[in-house]
Amino acid sequence: MTQTMRWFGPNDPVRLRDIRQAGATEVVTALHEVPNGAVWTLEAIAARKSQVRAVGLDWTVVESLPVDEALKTRSGDWDRLIDHYCQSLRNLAACGVRVVTYNFMPLLDWTRTDLAWELPDGARALRFEAVAVAAYDLFILRRPGAADDYDVATQSAAEARYAAMDDDARATLERTIIAGLPGSEEGFTSPQFLRAIDTYAGIDASTLRDNHVAFLQAVCPVADELGMQLVVHPDDPPFPIFGLPRVVSTEADVANLFARVPSASNGLCLCTGSFGVRADNDLPGMVDRLGSRIGFLHLRSVQREPLGAFHEAEHLGGDAQMAAVIAAVHNLSVREGRSIPMRPDHGHQILDDLNRTTNPGYSLLGRMRGLAELRGLERGIAHATGLSA
């Protein structure tokens, strides 16, 4: 595997030199300052690549080139936005960037309810609690029709949870869910979020899948011509929230997408954390079966909890079966003769990072520990099998 770490650009508190010292050879990054739907210019991409290369790293994987909401709803100035997306792909390819990550989640990117959940050893982790989401949805956002999405037990638990929170706790929960986490494409206030939800009226899972296919049918011919791979990031969490459909949550979802758009450029970012929230996703089997479609790996593990909750576990712990996943990745790499870019995802906040300002999930030391563990696991598997990619 090609070892990378995510970097959020010049304002990231983690420096490029820190990432190089952690053992990565590349960063995955994006032009976060460019508004959604605008063209990434050749000059801006080249400048960012030069900045990365100046410290001995490389940049060949974008995370992410955002898909504007009008493309997801197939509304507004769709043709112009497609043209902009394709031009950004051409400019990225001209600068040697060959893998482009994107997602097709409506409105919200990855979602959590606690950004500093304390573990028994004093480290802090990200956590998602379904009851807390329901408390926000029912009693803070007050989304019309929200009660129809929750059973009686969840509604009762959410009401109790809301009643137990003071104003500060309610504001923190609201901000955590909708203000925008690192890498997210949008941030909202609750009134803005309600209005945005209305733009998805009448768009169910079937329609969103059709819109996703239409997007890929428009951009994949360009990506094919350029020799690029567009890798979709799975839904996080992998189920509908706030009445909005999510359509990249299971292996069946991905297989359907590949069947409908068989272009070589139509690929997958296999996130073991996102897919791993669902016990019905067989992660090692997905590596075996999806094979050459996998262009990028997010390696992290979650610990599933009762009532739809989960938290970020140690990279080699939790429910991800990471040893089996890495063994499958290693076999794939040997079979196809390629090194798949990977990054350790969502590290714990540990040690000195507990005293620093960090992007939630993207502290240096927790990810460095994860990278070291994953690197060691891969090398141990390669040694045991006697095979190298």
Active site residue: 84, 212, 311, 346, which one?
A: 346
Nearby residues of 251 by Cβ (< 8 Å), 6 or more positions away: 275, 281, 282, 285, 286, 289, 290
**Whether residue 298 lies in the annotated active site:** yes
177, amino acid identity: I
Which candidate in 68, 137, 345, 353 is catalytic?
345
Please indicate whether residue 136 is annotated as part of the active site.
no
The catalytic residue among 271, 315, 319, 348 is: 271
Residue 269, strand partner residues: 296
Structure tokens at 126: 């990200």
Quote the CA–CA distance of 120 and 180 in Å, as a whole number: 28
With vertex at residue 37, the alpha carbon angle to CA 34 and CA 39, rounded to the nearest 5 degrees, is 60
For the question of residue 346 being annotated catalytic, the response is yes
Q: Which among 150, 179, 176 is positioned nearest to 165, based on CA atoms?
A: 176
- One of 233, 311, 315, 348 is an active-site residue; which one? 233
| Known catalytic residue at 220 | no
| Half-sphere exposure in the Cβ direction for 173 (13 Å, CA) | 24
Find the catalytic residue in 102, 150, 162, 362.
Answer: 362
CA–CA distance from 260 to each of 91, 120, 232, 246, 345 (Å)?
27, 46, 14, 17, 30
Q: Which of 84, 212, 298, 348 is catalytic?
A: 298
With left for phi above 0 and alpha for psi between -120 and 50, is residue 202 left, alpha or beta?
left
Q: Any catalytic annotation for residue 345?
A: yes
Which residues are part of the catalytic machinery? 233, 271, 298, 345-346, 362
